[in-house]
Structure 1
């Protein structure tokens, strides 16, 4: 049985324990350490077509790492690209949609597939446009968020509005809309211009409004804002 455990306080490793015959797949370059009973190889999980779509849709690597306990039980340590929290999510009865760069690792009984978005949502997507990654199968998926992570429960009549850059993943049963404002300035051209002005003056970027019943996982840091801040500090 595969056991995922986040170990460490500020910037944790993902500790994975495997029994002989167990197999996981993870994002390229995620492996930090593994014991000699384990084998590591590159894999186009789901075939070349799904690998291409996964890379296009969510900015994930074309090739993923596959770690298998071939000669006996063994442990390995994985690490996401950006510093931050890790969360192990059970999938099967519930499936999740993943934002860009959220995927870290998964058990072999799960798979990442591509789901088509509506035209409105595609126009504001950070990458992939009309496509977004969705879990399938049964097992566990590990996601990471830049900074700390928090789990929100969305319920009927209690919609939640979240900055797009802070969303890690969400229940695929939830309805979501993407806009450029948290307010409601009415329809038509005036409403659209009002939304854009409000977005600029408030400092708020793209936001997602979730409704229905399900969970949303969010992170405390905005990687785009951090990259822009770092660029300014290191320029010149």
Structure 2
């Protein structure tokens, strides 16, 4: 399978060439164009029960689409996300990664889709009770609003709410005030993600919540 991410960083899209017999799983609505000979089937995201959990408690789609090349020659497929921003790829090698709602786009066979309990602090921050967790061996594509930064943390780290895109599951996340009650209100920072542990995290340079707050007085 040949993959290429074009139009980075603001309007990124994934261009794939599937060889005969190859397939890829994508978020519902991610396809922008494809060769007509590609076959597509729709199934529950990670299975019926995990799909329901992701839909109602994690803010994810209930279904995913599986694109398969059943011909004898290469076929092309283009995937993207609904928001403006960058797209990146994570290569899992018997490892795991958790995504915030809306970040996941697609994965190759060999990767298993499931859920991980995120805690009530995540729920109160508006980011769901469960996180989408992908594990196994293969490629995972994800997107962000704005640019993407990969960072290794080895101690406590603070991320403004809405800027965390993905993180390794051994990293613990809690929600707290950016400072004291008065300081949190007057600074405009409010709630933040307080991360602890050692591992990789992915951040987005913009926040959908921040955009909504900016537009609300103008509408």
CA contact (8 A) 1:57 1:133 kept: no
| Separation in 1, partners of 2:190, 2:96 | 27
Q: CA deviation at 1:38?
A: 1.3
SS class of match (2:101): coil
Coordinate RMSD, CA, aligned? 1.8
Instruction: Report what 1:169 is aligned to.
Output: 166
TM-score between both structures, scaled by the size of structure 2: 0.91
Matched, 1:178 2:183: no
Equivalent pairs, count: 217
Deviations 1:115-172 (A, max 9, x none): 12344x344342322x2221122211111110111111112xx432111200100111
CA contact (8 A) 2:18 2:74 kept: yes
Residues 84-103 of structure 1 aligned to structure 2 (within 5 Å) = 84-103=85-104
SS class of match (2:11): coil
Q: CA deviation at 1:46?
A: 2.6
Matched, 1:203 2:161: no
- 128 and 202 in structure 1: CA distance in 2 versus 1, 3 angstrom threshold: same
SS class of match (1:92): strand
| Separation in 2, partners of 1:138, 1:224 | 33
Q: CA deviation at 1:58?
A: 2.5
TM-score between both structures, scaled by the size of structure 1: 0.85
User: Which has a greater percent of strand?
Assistant: 2
| Separation in 2, partners of 1:117, 1:45 | 18
Structure 1: any 5+ residue segments left out of the alignment? 184-194
Matched, 1:36 2:36: yes
Most deviating of 219-228 and 172-181:
172-181
| Separation in 2, partners of 1:49, 1:147 | 32
Q: CA deviation at 1:218?
A: 0.4
| Separation in 1, partners of 2:123, 2:43 | 31
| Separation in 2, partners of 1:148, 1:51 | 29
Q: CA deviation at 1:73?
A: 1.9
| Separation in 2, partners of 1:29, 1:231 | 27
Rg comparison, structure with higher value: 1
Instruction: Report what 2:49 is aligned to.
Output: 49
User: Which has a greater percent of helix?
Assistant: 1
